[in-house]
Chains A and B, each alone.
Chain A
Amino acid sequence: MAREADGLSFLQTQGPEGIDKLALTTRADSFLEKFDNWVQSHSIVPFVFDTACCSLEYGWHFNDQFAHDSFSPEQIEACDSDLLLIGGTINLKTYPLIRKTYEQMPKKKWVVAIGACPMSGGPFPSYNVVKDVSKDIPVDIFIPGCPPTPQDIMDGMKLLKQRIEMGVMASGNS
Chain B
Amino acid sequence: MVTPNSFLNYYSGKLNVIDDSNAELILEPNEDIKGIFKKLKEEFGFIMLIDIFGLDLLKKKSFDPQNERRFQVVYILLNMEMHLRLRVVVNVDVEKNEVLPSCRDLWAAAHWCEREIWEMFGISFGTESEKRLLSVSGLKGFPFRKDFSFNGLDESLDSEESIFENITDVPKYKLNLVDSFSIGPIHPALKGSMKLHLQIEGDGILNSQLEVGYLHRSIEKLCEEKLYTQIIPLTDRLNFFSAASNNIGWCKAVEDLVNIEISDKAKAMRMVASELARVSDHTQCIGSIARAVGMFEPIQLSISIKEIVSSLFERLCGSRFNSSISRIGGMSVEVPSGWVNDCLTTLKVISKKVDEIDTHLTRSTLWIERLRTTTLNAYDAIDLGITGPNLRACGVNYDIRKVSPYYFYEDVEFEIPLGINGDCYDRYLVRIEEIRQSLKIISQVLDSLPLGKMCVDKLKTELDLNPLNFAPNLCEGYSMTETPNGELGFFISSDGENRPYRVKIKGPSFFSAQAFSSMLENTKVNDAMISLCSMNIVAGEVDR
User: Real complex partners, A and B?
Assistant: yes
Using CB atoms and an 8 Å cutoff, list the residues of chain A in contact with chain B: 48-53, 55-57, 59-60, 63-64, 67, 71, 73-75, 88-89, 91-94, 97, 123-129, 146-147, 149
Contact A51 B222 (CB under 8 A): no
Kindly state the separation between the CA atoms of A97 and B136 in the bound complex, as whole angstroms: 13
15 residue pairs of the A-B complex, CB under 8 angstroms, read: A50-B190, A52-B215, A52-B237, A53-B236, A56-B321, A60-B190, A63-B188, A71-B291, A73-B189, A88-B193, A92-B153, A93-B214, A124-B219, A124-B234, A128-B218
- The answer for the CA separation of A51 and B240 in the assembled complex, in Å, is 12
**Inter-chain contacts of A67 with B (CB < 8 A):** 291, 296, 299
Would you call B222 and A125 a contact (CB within 8 A)? yes
Assess A73 versus B218: contact at CB under 8 Å? Given A123-B237, A127-B143: no
Given the complex, which residues of B lie within 8 Å of A91, measured CB to CB? Answer: 136, 214-217
Q: Which residues of B contact A127 (CB under 8 A)?
A: 143, 150, 218, 221
Q: Which residues on the B side are within 8 Å of A128 (C-beta)?
A: 135-136, 143, 216-218
Q: A73: which of B193, B221, B291 is its contact (CB, 8 Å)? A: B291
CB distance from B44 to the nearest CB of A (A): 39
B185 at the interface (CB under 8 A from A): yes
- Binary CB contact string for chain B from 133 to 147 against chain A (1 if under 8 A, 0 otherwise): 001100100010000
The distance from the CB of B225 to the nearest CB of chain A, in whole angstroms, is 8
B294–A71 touching, CB < 8 Å: yes
**What residues of chain B lie closer than 8 Å to A88, measured between beta carbons?**
192-193, 215
Return A52 CB to nearest CB of chain B, in Å.
6
Contacts of A63 in B (CB 8 A): 188, 190
Question: Residue of A at shortest CB range from B287?
Answer: A60
The 8 nearest A-B residue pairs measured at CB:
A73-B188, A71-B294, A53-B240, A127-B150, A92-B136, A59-B190, A126-B218, A51-B193
Establish whether residues B190 and A55, one from each chain, have CB atoms under 8 Å apart when the complex forms: yes
Bound complex: CA A41 to CA B529 (Å): 34
B295: nearest residue on chain A (CB-CB)? A71
In the complex, which of the residues A56, A74, A94 contacts B193, with contact meaning CB atoms closer than 8 Å?
A94
Q: Is the CB of B539 within 8 A of A75?
A: no
Are A53 and B153 within 8 A (Cβ)?
no
Q: Which residues of B contact A (CB under 8 A)?
A: 135-136, 139, 143, 150, 153, 185-190, 192-193, 213-219, 221-222, 233-234, 236-237, 240-241, 291-294, 296, 299, 303, 320-322, 529, 539-540
For A53, A55, A88, A125, the residue with the greatest tally of chain B CB atoms inside 10 Å of its CB is A53
User: Is chain B's binding surface mostly helix, strand, loop or mixed?
Assistant: loop
Q: Are A147 and B192 touching (Cβ within 8 A)?
A: no
CA distance A149 to B187 in the complex (A): 22
Assess A56 versus B291: contact at CB under 8 Å? Given A93-B213, A128-B216, A146-B322: no
Residues of B within 8 A of A92 (CB): 136, 139, 153
Cα-based distance from A91 to B136 in the complex (angstroms): 9
Q: Which residues of A contact B218 (CB under 8 A)?
A: 124, 126-129
Query: How far is the CB of B80 from the nearest CB of chain A, in Å?
Result: 33
**Other A-B pairs, 7, CB within 8 Å; known A94-B215, A125-B222:** A48-B186, A49-B186, A52-B237, A60-B190, A73-B529, A91-B216, A94-B185
Minimum Cβ distance to chain A for residue B321 (Å):
6
Alpha-carbon distance A147/B529, docked complex (angstroms): 27
Of the candidates A73, A74, A89, A147, the one whose C-beta lies within 8 Å of that of B215 is A89
Given the known interface contacts A67-B299, A91-B215, A91-B217, the answer about A124 and B222 at a Cβ–Cβ threshold of 8 Å is yes
Hey, which chain B residues are within 8 Å of A52, CB to CB?
A: 192-193, 215, 237, 240, 539-540
CA distance A67 to B189 in the complex (A): 12
Contacts of B219 in A (CB 8 A): 124, 126
Q: A52-B237, A53-B540, A56-B241 are in contact. Are A126 and B221 (CB under 8 A)?
A: yes
> In the complex, which of the residues B190, B234, B237, B240 has the most CB atoms of chain A within 10 Å of its own CB atom?
B190
User: Is the beta-carbon distance between A89 and B217 smaller than 8 angstroms?
Assistant: yes
Which listed residue, B150, B189, B192, touches A51 by the CB 8 Å rule? B192
Q: How far is the CB of A99 from chain B (nearest CB, A)?
A: 13
Beta-carbon nearest neighbor of A47 in chain B: B186
CA distance A48 to B292 in the complex (A): 18
Residue of A nearest to B184 (CB): A97
Give min CB distance, A80 to chain B, whole Å.
15
Interface centre among B217, B237, B240 (most CB of A within 10 A): B217
Nearest Cβ on chain A to B467's Cβ, whole angstroms? 16
In the bound complex, residues from chain A placing their C-beta under 8 Å from that of B303 are 60
User: Who on chain B is nearest to A95 by CB?
Assistant: B136
Are A123 and B234 neighbours in the complex by a CB distance under 8 Å? Answer: yes
Contact B240 A56 (CB under 8 A): yes
Separation of A133 and B185 alpha carbons in the complex (Å): 18
The answer on a CB contact under 8 Å between B322 and A51 is no
Alpha-carbon distance between A135 and B294 when the two chains are bound, in angstroms: 39
Q: Which residue of B lies closest to A147 (CB)?
A: B321
